[in-house]
Copies of this chain bind each other. A is one copy, B any other.
Amino acid sequence: MFSENLYNPHISVDCVVFGFDGEKLKVLLIERSMNEQNELYNDKKLPGSIILNNEDLDDAASRVLNELTGLKNIYLSQFKSFGSPLRTSNPSDVLWLERTTKMKIGRIVTVAYVALIKIDRKIVFNAEDTSANWYDVNEIANVQLAFDHNRIIKDGLLHIRHRLDLEPHLLFELLPNKFTISQLRSLYDVVHQTRSDVRNFHKKAIQMPYLVMLDELEEGVPHRAARLYKFDKKKK
């Protein structure tokens, strides 16, 4: 299937795609099913692909996300490569590789990326042959994923926590276009694993130059409606 465009079946990219549902951090995983000796196996894996001819690594990661979500301009950042010979120690993973690439593959080095997307966008994740779903970051630690994808998610999470700490404007990649300060605060706290003080947070937030107040309020909430804000990229 890939053979014409394929650069090298031993190098891939994988994307750890994070989203925020208002409460928890989520990761996007692809459902993988395969029948092996007439038994149907179901598990999950990170979105990924081998690298095509004439494609840079970043381009390959962008392509994976675009094919999956239809979106462009997603925040993407390479964070680590994984190349242990043990990555393909699970026979089902090897079998799956051979079936999808139609090649004999002993070992794959993968370049891992983190991506941040707004979970609220109505994205069709269930196209053609792939279906993808959001999973709670903390819960998938207990689920056995394909290859070393548990490890990759763990490292990706550490990476993005660190990154969002250094570059707080990246938090807005995870929020809807219009959001309240308390949504921003929940996100901040989920990412940093803290319980920040309401007043101090508000103070810090409104003095970010790129946070701009709108003349609109939240709607449909059973209590006092909160003011909405948006993010101004130009001022970051």
Contact = CB atoms under 8 A, between A and B. Distances in A.
Interface of A: 7-8, 10-11, 51, 53-57, 78, 80-85, 107, 109, 111
A76 to B, nearest CB: 14
Contact of A83 (B11, B82, B85, B107): B11
A56 B81 contact: no
B85 A54 contact: yes
Contact of A81 (B54, B55, B107, B111): B111
B78 A56 contact: no
A51 B84 CA distance: 11
Given A81-B81, A84-B56, A107 B7 contact: yes
B81 A57 contact: yes
A85 B56 contact: yes
A57 B78 contact: no
Count chain B CB atoms within 10 A of each CB in A10, A51, A56, A109 and give the residue with the most. Answer: A109
Interface SS of chain A: helix, strand, loop or mixed? strand
Most buried by B among A55, A81, A82, A85: A81
A11 B80 CA distance: 15
18 contacts: A7-B107, A8-B107, A8-B109, A10-B11, A11-B11, A51-B83, A51-B109, A53-B85, A54-B85, A56-B84, A56-B85, A57-B81, A57-B82, A57-B83, A57-B84, A83-B111, A109-B109, A109-B111
Contacts of A111: 81, 83, 109
A-B pairs with the 10 shortest C-beta distances? A57-B83, A81-B81, A56-B84, A81-B111, A8-B10, A54-B85, A11-B109, A56-B83, A57-B81, A78-B80
A80 to B, nearest CB: 6
Nearest to A60: B83
A152 to B, nearest CB: 13
A87 to B, nearest CB: 9
A84 B111 CA distance: 13
Contacts of A11: 10-11, 83, 109
Nearest to A112: B81
